[in-house]
Amino acid sequence: MSLSFQRCKQLVVLELTTERKFYAYSILALAGILLTYMLYNAYYTTDGLHHDLQEQIATEGLIIFSLMTSAYYFRKINSNDSRLESLMLPVSPVERLIVALFFTLVLYQIAYLVIYFFCAGTAFYVDETLQHGNRFYLFDGRREIDSSFLKMLFGMVTLGLATGATFRKLPVVKAILIMALLFIANNMISQHLSRFLMKETQLPAKLQEPVLGQVAKKVELMNASPFGHWYLKSQTASGETVSVFTINPPASVELLTSAAGFLFPFALMYLVVLKLREQEI
């Protein structure tokens, strides 16, 4: 079956028409959860609706929301009541994937942000009335969105879709477990790799300069982000911390992590197509 955007359009309309009650209740539930959490912090915490809390809800909340909703997207195929009806639709697995990406990457994101701004604006009005002295930061307090955040968001969506297409039972729970396992494994590999390669990395010359009379004699790795900087601290001979700083990993490591981060979502999308095709057979 050849790719047809007309069928994709019809599938979008069908989804919005047949599932309008589900989406309406989902919007109300999400708004209730966000508004309750924000109002609680505005009323009962000392700092109120501070910037870090707003950023956490806007970014981390969006990532968790995207993972859960994308894992639940193929609910019709996974349900015994609607499975046969859904699989008999004259659409190909690739068209199903395109529509799934449209919902999870576009419509769901817009819905979350609109609900977030409504709830945050309402809660901030209460926070301002209580005179906590906070500012209403739009999204995460910056004028631009970090590209690493968009990459993580895309990765979480594709991971959720792959989990939903692979597992018929408890796809949301399994998606969260897989995300946690991948996060732990990714960080462990990054930590060991960075410790192994740290000796080959040229350290900043400023480490040789004394800080408050203390001279650094050794450097210890604190944390190594899989797709970011290495966090290190310089210490004296007795083990006292002199300074904390960040450096860029070697070019080979950056190339490896960039390639892995780029290929991972596309591999998951290919898995989604295979699993959808397998279920049709």
Judge whether residue 23 has pLDDT over 70.
Answer: yes
More confident residue, 65 or 230: 65
Judge whether residue 140 has pLDDT over 50.
Answer: no
What residue ranges do the domains of the chain occupy? Answer: 5-190+261-280, 202-248
Split at pLDDT 50, 70, 90, the class of 158 is very high
Judge whether residue 142 has pLDDT over 60.
Answer: no
pLDDT average, residue stretch 167-176: 88
Residue 133 and residue 47: Cα distance in Å, rounded?
8
pLDDT average, residue stretch 84-95: 74
The structure tokens listed for 230 are 């290495």
Lowest mean pLDDT among 65-79, 122-136, 190-204: 190-204
Judge whether residue 1 has pLDDT over 70.
Answer: no
Place of tokens 């949301």: 172
- Give yes or no for a contact between 132 and 53, defined as CB atoms under 8 angstroms apart: no
Which residues are bridge partners to 235 per DSSP? 218, 241
* pLDDT reported for residue 261: 74
The winner for highest mean pLDDT among 54-63, 82-91, 182-191, 236-245 is 54-63
pLDDT tens digits, residue range 216-251? Answer: 556 666 565 655 666 666 666 666 666 666 666 667
Residue 158 and residue 69: Cα distance in Å, rounded?
11
More confident residue, 223 or 260: 260
What percentage of the chain reaches a pLDDT higher than 90? 15
Judge whether residue 81 has pLDDT over 80.
Answer: no
DSSP 122-142: HHHHHHHHTT------STTSS
Judge whether residue 117 has pLDDT over 80.
Answer: yes
Lowest mean pLDDT among 10-19, 23-32, 108-117, 204-213: 204-213
* pLDDT reported for residue 259: 77
* pLDDT reported for residue 110: 92
Ramachandran category for residue 134: left, alpha or beta (phi over 0 → left; psi -120 to 50 → alpha): beta
Judge whether residue 175 has pLDDT over 50.
Answer: yes
More confident residue, 68 or 183: 68
Which residues are bridge partners to 245 per DSSP? 232
For 31, 91, 99, 248, the CA distances from 25, given in Å and listed in that order, are: 10, 28, 21, 46
* pLDDT reported for residue 176: 92
- Give yes or no for a contact between 279 and 87, defined as CB atoms under 8 angstroms apart: yes
For 125, 127, 140, the CA distances from 121, given in Å and listed in that order, are: 6, 10, 14
Judge whether residue 84 has pLDDT over 50.
Answer: yes
More confident residue, 115 or 48: 115
Chain-wide mean pLDDT for the chain? 78
